[in-house]
Amino acid sequence: MPRDDIRTANLNKPVDVAEYLFTRLHQIGIRSIHGLPGDFNLVALDYVPKVGLQWVGNANELNAAYAADGYARVKGMGAIVTTFGVGELSAINGLAGAYSEMVPVVHIVGCPSTISQRNNMLLHHTLGNGDFNAFAGMSAAVSCVVAKLNDPSEIATQIDHALRECYVRNRPVYIMLPTDMVTKKIEGERLDAEIDLREAVNDEAKESYVVDVVLRYLHAAQRPVVLVDACAVRSRVLDEVHAFIEKTRLPVFVTPMGKSAIDETHPCYGGVYAGSASRPEIKEIVEGSDLVLSIGALKSDFNTAGFSYRLSQLNTIDFHTDHCVVRYSEYPGVRMRGVLRRITENVDVSQLKVLPAPTPVVDPKDEQGPADGLIKQAWFWPRISQFFQQGDIIISETGTANFGIWETRFPPNVTALNQTLWGSIGWAVGACQGAALAAKDSGVRRRTILFEGDGSIQLTAQEIGTMIKHDLDIIIFVICNDGYTIERFIHGMDATYNDVPTWRYRDLGTVFGGTPKTVKSYAVHTPAELEALLADEDFAAGFRGLRLVELYMGREDAPQSLMMTAEVSAKTNAKEEP
């Protein structure tokens, strides 16, 4: 009698390991799996369509990791499958970015069988030294859980634990699936109950104390403001934030990484605060406040325009995913979700001193210049705001677009994606594919609009083929300004290492398999040409598919915020020990 019969005889609902894993992903809300096939994951991939999932099939593993990141930011969680060694290491930069930016991505790695590992076999895709754990060790630093599925009696628990931690902690997890474990039977009865993804609740006494302290300072403040950052988005507390704003009517601002966290049509919305790179009226109100309620702060260099915040901790209350800080007093384990809800319930609005939010002062016409002249950055970004529609997904690449987008105003229900902290150029093309697919999987029509640099797109342009293959509704503006603009402003304005080859970006749709029915291409050199394009109803909404726009701008033109941040970055890089 086979040994497996003894081990599986007491299973109530035997199910194969791969079926269990992919069913769990489906239950969590994932509908598409990114990645590439390899001989160590092929049998596992047979289970993808069996459980109602779609296989995406990317051009390379790095692009797939970027795409899974973008998918997760829209759908709540993403997944990528790679093969051992060569595949997973190609993806690790993208997964490190997801870890850095707190994006929940499940990384499933098909690996050699447990028998091969025990025997230290000299297999392809290895280092040739018999070490089958080296790559898992590399991924451990950018994963909140590493699960090696080597023992069928533990696999179901390992999978459930990894997926829960991925969701709750908003970090990637690494699941190592040996080839001989794919078809092993485990208890499928567990699938009858979905994984509990609820976060832990606060200790009631501790939470009550923090709420009382916060309310005491809030009621006494003369000029309170709210500042919303990336971790409010990642921790899924935007409903709580909006409820608080709606009740208190306090002026609310976002950081660059928090863009789109707040309804930008709300009368309390004041704009983007980024230290010294902020608009003067925003800087004056935020830095003049005697109480800043900072929600989900992530004070990185580019998110603060070179650490240029001028906010005293004595005037700040910080709400974080797993702790709160009131002035210089820290309260570990007191999560912001519960605190925000209780503050909203108990605040006495009659005691609040509410300042009006600043009104936008930028009129695109002020910066336009001649209609047949160059398209200026200072004009383009306020102008493109008028093109955006409710529900758009708007993605800005590291560099020019990440800074220019600060000057836009979004309509309601926009989702903005950027990678300000990790800043891997080329990320946005893959993330755009993943985000657009997530929207399609959600069953709603949402335009996905990407602002991409002519240098960055050359790293990941192959994903245009994936966009076309999956019939995604995407508009790509390729900013053609002759190279790596942000690097030019940091160092080497005329250096050849900041130059890039000139591509015919309009032809990329055809190169990657598009037809006139699936791809349209455009080029705009002047404000007048751009105005005509944006007024074209077929371009804006009528055509369903990929629209590629070459958008020509000056080589040494950049958003003011980029120039200021680049200057600070250059000084930081040049600092030496005294």
Angstrom distances, CA of residue 180 to CA of 49, 116, 368, 401 = 20, 10, 64, 47
* Pairing outcome for strands 252-254 and 224-228: parallel
Contacting residues for 162 by C-beta, under 8 A, at least 6 apart: 106, 145, 147, 173, 175
> What secondary structure letter does DSSP report for 548?
E
> Dihedral of CA 385/419/376/373: which sign?
negative
Identify the DSSP state of 537.
H
Task: Please enumerate in sequence order all residues whose Cβ is within 8 A of that of 574, keeping only pairs 6 or more positions apart, or say none.
Answer: none
How, if at all, do strands 185-187 and 173-178 pair? unpaired
Place of tokens 């240098």: 455
What is the pairing mode between strands 32-35 and 78-83?
A: parallel
Cα separation, 492 vs 490, whole angstroms: 7
Strands 448-453, 415-417: parallel, antiparallel or unpaired by DSSP? unpaired
* DSSP 8-state secondary structure symbol assigned to residue 133: S
Residues annotated catalytic, as ranges: 39, 61, 124-125, 423, 454, 481, 483, 487
Contact between 403 and 565 (Cβ < 8 Å) = yes
> Which residue in 230, 545, 227, 169 sits closest to 402, CA to CA?
230
Tokens of 264: 């930008």
With residue 86 as reference, give the H or E element that holds it.
helix 86-100
Is the alpha carbon torsion for 385, 286, 224, 346 positive or negative?
positive
CA distance 557 to 192: 58
